[in-house]
């Protein structure tokens, strides 16, 4: 869209993305869906009820960093794992707490978490926040070809989508 990489153009692009993210959050939810189920659980345990757009953005950043080349359902599943952890008493009760928990996600350590998400990652985060969970309640995911943790291989598998295995 913009040919110049000047600071003003980057600021405009980020503003458009943020406004788009805010519009995504405001869209209606289909009947029967549990809208923002994990966020509601987080808020009932002391989470910030005014941070919905920030949660959407942060989840989308993680999805982009972890699952950029995965199928769409795999992207949504990565977001669902974050929200499943927020709802679990065994993990921090906020989206940032889960994502920035020590040793939880490689992109936090290698800096990829700071990349802006693409539009598909934002949509996937929105679908996860609306309650779609293609991971079937998973609390973990990994790529068996890349994982070096023996522990994660001991977890019961819920499904595999693309290169990621999802587990409880």
Q: Within a domain: residue 15?
A: no
Question: How many structural domains are present in the chain?
Answer: 1
* The overall pTM is greater than 0.85: no
Looking at residue 148, what is its pLDDT? 87
**pLDDT tens-digit map of 96-119:** 999 999 999 999 999 999 999 999
Closest CA to 21 of 64, 67, 49, 52: 52
24/148: higher pLDDT: 148
Q: Within a domain: residue 16?
A: no
CA pair distance 38, 153, nearest whole angstrom:
26
The two tokens of residue 72 are 């769409």
Residue located via tokens 């709802």: 87
CA pair distance 62, 166, nearest whole angstrom:
16
Q: Within a domain: residue 27?
A: no
Q: Within a domain: residue 26?
A: no
CA pair distance 120, 133, nearest whole angstrom:
16
Q: Within a domain: residue 108?
A: yes
CA pair distance 145, 133, nearest whole angstrom:
24
Closest CA to 38 of 145, 105, 127: 127
- Domain with 132, as residue range(s), is 35-167
How much is the mean pLDDT over the chain?
80
Q: Within a domain: residue 7?
A: no
Looking at residue 13, what is its pLDDT? 43
**pLDDT tens-digit map of 20-68:** 444 444 343 333 333 344 444 444 445 544 358 899 999 999 999 999 9
Query: 142 near 164, Cβ under 8 Å?
Result: yes
The CATH number of the domain holding residue 65 is: 1.10.10.2520
Q: Within a domain: residue 29?
A: no
């Amino acid at each position: 869209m913009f040919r110049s990489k000047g600071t003003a153009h980057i600021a405009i692009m980020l503003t458009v993305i943020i406004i788009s993210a805010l519009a995504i959050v405001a869209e209606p939810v289909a009947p029967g869906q549990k809208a923002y189920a994990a966020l509601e659980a987080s808020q009932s345990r002391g989470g910030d009820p005014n941070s919905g757009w920030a949660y959407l953005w942060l989840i989308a950043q993680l999805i982009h960093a972890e699952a950029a080349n995965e199928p769409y359902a795999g992207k949504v599943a990565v977001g669902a794992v974050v929200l499943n952890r927020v709802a679990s008493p065994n993990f921090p009760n906020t989206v940032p707490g889960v994502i920035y928990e020590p040793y939880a996600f490689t992109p936090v350590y290698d800096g990829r978490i700071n990349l802006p998400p693409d539009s598909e990652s934002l949509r996937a985060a929105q679908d996860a926040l609306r309650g779609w969970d293609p991971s079937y309640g998973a609390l973990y995911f990994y790529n068996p070809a890349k994982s070096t943790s023996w522990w994660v291989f001991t977890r019961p598998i819920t499904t595999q989508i693309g290169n990621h295995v999802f587990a409880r």
